[in-house]
Structure 1
Amino acid sequence: MDLTNQIILVGSAVLLVSMLVGVLSNRIGAPLLLVFLLIGMLLGEQGPGGIAFDDVQTAHLFGSLALAIILFDGGLATPIKHFRVGLRPALSLATLGVAITATITGLFAAWWLGLNWLEGLLLGAIVGSTDAAAVFSLLRARGLELKQRVGATLEIESGSNDPMAVFLTIALIELIIGGGDQGFGLVMLTEFARQMGLGALIGLAGGFALTALINRLAMAAGLHPLAVMAGGLTLFGLTAVLGGSGFLAIYLAGLVIGNRPLESTQNIKRFHDGIARLSQIGMFLMLGLLVTPSHLLPVAGDALLFAAVLILLARPLAVWLCLLPFRFTWREQAFIGWVGLRGAVPIILALFPLLAGIEHAAMYFNIVFFVVLVSLLVQGWTVAGLARALRLEVPPTSHVVQRVELDIPGQQELELVGYRLAADAPVLLERRAPHLPAGVRPVAVVRERQLIDAGDLGDLNAGDYLYLMAETRALPGLDHLFVAPPVPERLTERAFFGDFVLDGEAQLGAVSTVYGMAIDPADRDLTLDALIRRSLNQHPVVGDRLELGRMALVVREVEGDRVTKVGLKLGSDD
């Protein structure tokens, strides 16, 4: 009994300390996952903790479970609207990009480490996938918001490239165990069709079925998140048992569930966000425990060189080739190429050769662990600064203070939104009744603990709590009215978008007459929307720029593929 109590005490204390250290790491800009890895190493057998843990099978079990939960949460949190600008490039990176990265690094490893080509490709496949979740945690900690094209591409890639890396790793292990006699092309093709086909089929079908089941069953609100998680893990296990990619299945299931009308949507997403964070902490602590620090030193030189090839050659080249058809700017390509952080997935995949009893498996694990450390240190610490240097930030769009989901049948997108008005809130500075976006109705104002009638919102004071019923799409517009975003001067609306706001349907000829803009006479009848879309030749997003001499047109608002508002910025800063 004493041992049980001690384990509970130590385990909970380690978890609490990890969370507190995580908060501190956000303030100093340290990559959060690196902190948890280091804590795990300190708790290990060669650290002050002295905990001996070398159970690869247990580590694989809990690591796979944690990764499945993290991918499920990633699917739940990915808005389907991001697919408009990020799906095709992200899928290219998640499939062809992983294969190119694995091939380049694998062939280098075979040459440098003296391995045969299959063993080298296995090492390349293990480090093939990225962990953009680490990127977004760093960006959120620094208060940065990326252009939608870049952010959506990274977000979708991070959720969909893990299955490709798993597929390559398993297929190459099968080839190595079989002596490479089965035929490389045939094994890769059949394994790809089986894993990805079953993963996509079960994930999509299971996501729709699980959504319908949750909406039909009468259960306590607190059980909805648990039922969704249990259903997602069931799909993961079923797909894996049938020989498919469970990771792809659970990500796609989360994607379907997160973008369908669902009972207790906000509760479900908040619960899974917390569980995913807990899974990340536990997984990295466990992986830190598993490694023996003294075993990293003998492979340090080789691992550093391998990491350099991966970070400086393989990933940038793969990104350039995969994004070539999509006309990303050089700034966007450079950022995506650099933000190829390696996280938990490569370490978990490095356990597969150990479980399969493959020669050099211990060396694989130590090299991969070292590469992840280097990636988190070098790339993780520079990602925020690089986003600013490449000018890929956009003004923040959401600063909602409170959001309460209203479970009204057929109205799952309706929410109760609350704001506490600061003295510098735009609505107070304008000193007039605000013009609310469509789909918004004021509900109440709380002033000095007294509930008062919202009226026409013409008599609001600093310190008031304002509550409105709103459609989700109206939230960014409400933020502009009721929140003074704490952003640097360069990201204020005037500095970023320019002094003038133009309608997307305005004709270029009329604009050039008013503002003295030099244009091609053949373009006079074009609307600003048509001109910008023609120049981009891709889906426009907020922050896209078109230089016209000493002036710039900056996309300010987008609806679907149509540019509705354009900022006119005098003087180019490119």
Structure 2
Amino acid sequence: MTFTSENILLIGSVLVFVSILFTRSSFRFGIPVLLLFLGVGMLFGSDGLGVQFNSASDAQFIGMIALCLILFSGGMDTRFQEIRPVLFPGISLSTVGVLLTTLFTGLFIYYISGYTRADIHLSLWVSFLLAATMSSTDSASVFNLLRSKNMNLKENLRPMLELESGSNDPMAYMLTIVLIQVVTLSGASAMDILKDFFLQFFLGALAGYSIGRFGVWLLNKISLVNSALYSILILSLVFFLFTVTDL
């Protein structure tokens, strides 16, 4: 199939439509929404209905747009008044917890990689990279599960889980980016890795907070004739913030 703008819109709309329909089953059976979306993608892929898509640049562009919306949604779905009592343990879980998950899962992948039927031996850093890509939880699934089932968890456990699931994506994203650099640039030292990681972490947090506060101020001050333009303005600020911090 030759990919044109019409074909991309057609296939994309069908994928989104089918995925959203499947989310009803996820609410009923408690299945993560992300798992259903992956299943739909595999169904329409080369091993399913035979849709061939091999453009890495296009996949990166689509993934970057999706990542912007995922990170923004994680923050928008979090109510600060609810998470204030569990701010420290929640942030600890979403940062140190993700780091430890990557560490232990990466070691597990490294040690079992040589025992598969395919006899694939992964290096330690590649194992950590694979672990980093799966180290964050699906915030949409956690939110939907906790709110649709009306779970009354004790000791502020519910807001802490919502905070952790909604704020662990940036940590997993930064770990993935750093580990990609380590794998592709094999000569990087441990000090360079730590320096790059903390630089991205603190500069990203500073830029995110500053531009976020500016966005709130702008939305309160500006007066648009059409109220629908506020959503477009917020979306433009999201993409601007992501690209500026990625420079």
Is 1:194 the equivalent of 2:199? Answer: yes
Deviation of the 1:74 alpha carbon: 2.0
Task: Say which of 160, 183, 190 aligns to 2:189.
Answer: 183
Partners of 1:125 and 1:24 in 2: CA distance: 28
Aligned mates of 2:69, 2:28 — CA distance in 1: 27
Q: Given residue 231 of structure 1, which amino acid in structure 2 is its aligned partner?
A: L
- What SS is found at the alignment partner of 1:33? helix
Shift of 1:13: 4.3
Separation in structure 2 between the aligned mates of residue 116 and residue 135 of structure 1, nearest angstrom: 32
* CA drift at 1:56: 2.6
CA contact (8 A) 1:118 1:172 kept: yes
User: 1:372-405 deviations in whole A, cap 9, x for unaligned?
Assistant: xxxxxxxxxxxxxxxxxxxxxxxxxxxxxxxxxx
CA distance in 2, matches of 1:51, 1:68: 26
Q: Where does residue 132 of structure 2 map in the other structure?
A: 125
Cα 1:218–1:22 change in 2 (3 A) is same
Kept in 1, the 8 Å contact 2:106–2:127? The answer is yes
Q: How many residues align?
A: 236
Please report how far the alpha carbon of residue 132 of structure 1 lies from its aligned counterpart in structure 2 after TM superposition. 3.1
1:224 aligns with 2:230: yes
Tell which deviates more after alignment, 21-30 or 156-165. 21-30
Aligned to 2:98: 98
Higher relative helix content: 2
Tell me how far 1:149 sits from its aligned partner: 1.7
Residue 101 to residue 201, structure 1, CA distance change in 2 (3 Å):
same
**1:155 alignment partner in structure 2:** 162
CA contact (8 A) 1:106 1:123 kept: yes
List gaps (5 residues or longer) in structure 2. 114-120
Shift of 1:8: 5.0
AA aligned to 2:122 is: L
Name the structure where strand makes up a greater proportion of residues. Answer: 1
Instruction: String of CA shifts for 1:16-69, please: whole Å, max 9, x gaps.
Output: 33333322443344333322222222212222x321122232222212211211
User: Which position in structure 2 is the counterpart of 1:40?
Assistant: 41
Q: Structure 1 residues 35, 95: closer, same or farther in 2, change over 3 A?
A: closer
Give the counterpart letter for 2:93 in structure 1: L
More displaced 10-residue stretch of structure 1: 31-40 or 226-235: 31-40
> In structure 1, how many angstroms separate the alpha carbons of the residues matched to 2:143 and 2:199?
32
Question: Residue 221 of structure 1: SS of its match in structure 2?
Answer: coil
* In 1: Cα distance, 2:7 partner to 2:129 partner: 41
Aligned to 1:444: none
- The correspondence for 1:208, drawn from 213, 223, 238, is 213
Alpha-carbon distance in 1 for matches of 2:135, 2:12: 32
Q: What's the counterpart of residue 115 of structure 1? A: 122
Q: Which position in structure 2 is the counterpart of 1:358?
A: none
Cα distance change of structure 1 residues 147 and 175 upon mapping to structure 2, 3 Å threshold: same
8 Å CA contact 1:110, 1:120 repeated in 2 = yes
CA contact (8 A) 1:110 1:117 kept: yes
1:134 is aligned to 141
CA shift for structure 1 position 148: 6.6
For residues 91 and 138 of structure 2, what CA distance do their matches in structure 1 show?
Answer: 15
Q: Return the offset for 1:199.
A: 0.8
Aligned to 2:22: 21
| Counterpart contact for 1:133–1:155, Cα < 8 Å | no
Q: Percent identity?
A: 39
Which one has a bigger Cα radius of gyration? 1
CA contact (8 A) 1:107 1:120 kept: yes
Question: Are residues 202 and 132 of structure 1, via their aligned partners in 2, closer, same or farther at CA, if it must alter by over 3 Å?
Answer: same
CA distances 1:169-194 after superposition (whole Å, capped 9, x unpaired): 22233233332x4321x123211221
Letter paired with 2:242: F
The answer as to whether partners of 2:142 and 2:165 remain within 8 angstroms in 1 is: no
State the distance in 2 between where 1:78 and 1:6 align.
36
Q: Is the contact made by 1:22 and 1:32 (CA closer than 8 Å) also made in structure 2?
A: yes
Residue 373 (structure 1) aligns with: none
Give the Å deviation of 1:14: 4.3
When the two chains are superposed, the root-mean-square deviation of aligned CA atoms in Å is 2.4
Shift in Å at residue 236 of structure 1? 0.9
Alignment-derived partner of residue 81 in structure 1: 81
- Please, which runs of 5 or more residues in structure 1 have no aligned partner? 242-574
**Distance in 1 of aligned mates of 2:238 and 2:51:** 33
CA distance in 2, matches of 1:234, 1:83: 27
The within-5 A match list for 1:368-447 is none
State the match for 1:52 in structure 2.
52
**Counterpart AA for 2:132:** A
Instruction: Judge conservation of contact 2:34–2:138 (CA < 8 Å) in 1.
Output: no
Query: Which amino acid is 1:165 matched to?
Result: A
C-alpha distance after superposition, 1:302-352 (max 9, x if no partner): xxxxxxxxxxxxxxxxxxxxxxxxxxxxxxxxxxxxxxxxxxxxxxxxxxx
**Matching residue's letter, 2:44:** L
Contact 2:68 2:239 in 1 (8 A): yes
Cα deviation for residue 230 of structure 1 reads 0.8
CA distance in 2, matches of 1:6, 1:235: 30
Please name the residue that 1:480 is paired with.
none
* 8 Å Cα contact 1:106/1:121 also seen in 2: yes
